[in-house]
Structure 1
Amino acid sequence: MRRELKWKWLFFFGGIAIMSLGISMIIKGKVLGVSPWDVLHIGLFKQIGFSIGSWSIITGLVIVTGASIYLKQWPKVATWLNMILCGVFIDGFSWLLPNTDIFIFEVLYFIFGLVVMCLGCAMYISPNLGAGPRDTLMILIVEKFGGSIRRARFIMELSAVVLGWLLGGPVGIGTIIIVLSTGSIIQPALSFFRKLLEKQISEPEAEKLVSKHQSKTLAKES
């Protein structure tokens, strides 16, 4: 059990770090546009100040608080960690990654950032330790108003894009690409990471069984 939890939390924290790196790369390549929620975060940053990572935490906190009041239950620890660490990592990677005004480099930032973000997202989801604030909101919308998760996600992201655009956030073809492509990348990656996690957890058990079998065999031979 201890090993299982260790690997689950390792995938969770590692996935959040990788996802945040991808988000930061996309923000660096914002000439093509950024993800719907980052349109809002950047718009708030331009109008009010603070950092983009701070706004990621603040909007997440608003969502988590609202969801907690509606559900009348305390969110999982992983939800809080997701909310805080994403913001911290985004600011950290945004500071570490070099800036560029060269179009081709911004495009490369965007392309690689999109792939890295999706891989990280799949990795952190694979242990099923808890949904992030925005995923929690999406589930609540489905429960309260009905419809599909895809529709709820579309409504959420459209609202974030419109509000962020009004605040001066960058919207472009890249925003549309992110909305249309993330699911296609995350789905196979999620299957891969779940299998990888299961393999890491189950390998010691298999080794124990082999060891026991060998011990019994040696005992019989002696």
Structure 2
Amino acid sequence: MPLRGIVSVMMIRLIKLFVGLWLYGTAMVAILRAGLGNMPWDVLHQGLAEKMHLSVGVVSIIVGALVLLLWIPIRQKPGFGTVANVIVIGVAFDTMAPLFPEDPALVVAIPMMLGGIVLNAFATVLYIGAGMGPGPRDGLMTGLVARTGGSVRVVRTSMEVLVVIVGFLLGGTLGVGTLLYAVGVGPLIQLFARTGLGGPALAQGGDGHGGGHDAVATVGECGSSSPEPAPASAKAWLGRMRSAART
């Protein structure tokens, strides 16, 4: 595989990563500004933002960085996409927030909420397709699963319930949007996975084949994740680039 081809594949992956993360931050804005209930972690982000008098985007970056620190005792290694996840989503949120109305009427809020959930699923599939490492919250989940021996469902559900309770007590918005996100984002991710943007594993899951079902199910539970771990070395990364270029 010539170097030019490897660079081309890498550029495509970077574009998918950053576009996906930017759209994810935009989806967060739409759901939050609709005022009908946030995504679980955004309940916490909003609650902390109100108490700390900071923007939700800044709080998202701070929480993401703190979660990354929790990776140390469970021996998780971040990838480039992990660090980008922490920064880009928060920046995107604060950049796009002025474009959305605050406290809109229901005739506007409902489409904003539904559109945000759909956009979130599409963005998730897009940046998963970059294959550059899991988001900080999802890396924490997989690390805890590995260290405790617990199931993904139990560990992830415990994390989500905890952050929702803390966020709600701090003033975050919990409502029908939270429920719709929880039950709707998984099927939507599976639907968008059929485009192939999420890579071969998600594409198989999106078509209903058993080989990729677990990957899709895991992403559906996470809301924002990348089931593909970051390469352990530059040599491994180069090998992955060559493999992707052949497909």
TM-score range, shorter chain: 0.7 to 0.9
What is the CA distance between 1:127 and its match in structure 2?
Answer: 2.0
The partner residue of 1:125 within 118, 123, 128 is 128
Deviations for 1:53-90, whole angstroms, at most 9, x for unmatched residues?
A: 1111111001101103431x652222111100100001
Match of 2:107 in 1: 104
What is the CA distance between 1:149 and its match in structure 2?
Answer: 2.0
Match of 1:19 in 2: 24
Amino acid in the other structure paired with 2:32: I
Match of 1:8 in 2: 13
Structure 1 residues 82-91 or 60-69, which shifts more? 60-69
Question: Does the CA-based 8 Å contact 2:40-2:178 persist in structure 1?
Answer: yes
The partner residue of 1:81 within 80, 84, 92 is 84
What is the CA distance between 1:46 and its match in structure 2?
Answer: 1.1
What is the CA distance between 1:174 and its match in structure 2?
Answer: 1.3
How many residues align? The count is 200
Residue 39 of structure 2 corresponds to residue 35 of structure 1: yes
Match of 1:134 in 2: 137
Report the Cα distance in structure 1 between the residues aligned to 2:246 and 2:53, rounded to whole angstroms. 52
SS of 1:182's equivalent in the other structure is: helix
What is the CA distance between 1:101 and its match in structure 2?
Answer: 2.7
Match of 2:206 in 1: none
Deviations for 1:166-189, whole angstroms, at most 9, x for unmatched residues?
A: 101110121111112211111232
Amino acid in the other structure paired with 1:99: E
Question: Does the CA-based 8 Å contact 1:60-1:133 persist in structure 2?
Answer: yes
The partner residue of 1:56 within 51, 57, 60 is 60
Question: Does the CA-based 8 Å contact 2:64-2:136 persist in structure 1?
Answer: yes
Amino acid in the other structure paired with 1:79: T
What CA RMSD, in Å, does the superposition of the two structures yield over aligned residues?
2.2
Report the Cα distance in structure 2 between the residues aligned to 1:100 and 1:58, rounded to whole angstroms. 25
Match of 2:184 in 1: 181
Runs of 4+ deviating beyond 4 Å: none
Report the Cα distance in structure 2 between the residues aligned to 1:84 and 1:97, rounded to whole angstroms. 21
Question: Does the CA-based 8 Å contact 1:12-1:124 persist in structure 2?
Answer: yes
Question: Does the CA-based 8 Å contact 1:25-1:109 persist in structure 2?
Answer: yes
Which protein, 1 or 2, shows the higher relative CO under an 8 Å CA cutoff with sep ≥ 6? 1
What is the CA distance between 1:20 and its match in structure 2?
Answer: 1.2
* Identical aligned residues as a percent: 31
What is the CA distance between 1:47 and its match in structure 2?
Answer: 1.2
Name which one, 1 or 2, has greater alpha-carbon Rg. Answer: 1
Question: Does the CA-based 8 Å contact 1:21-1:93 persist in structure 2?
Answer: yes
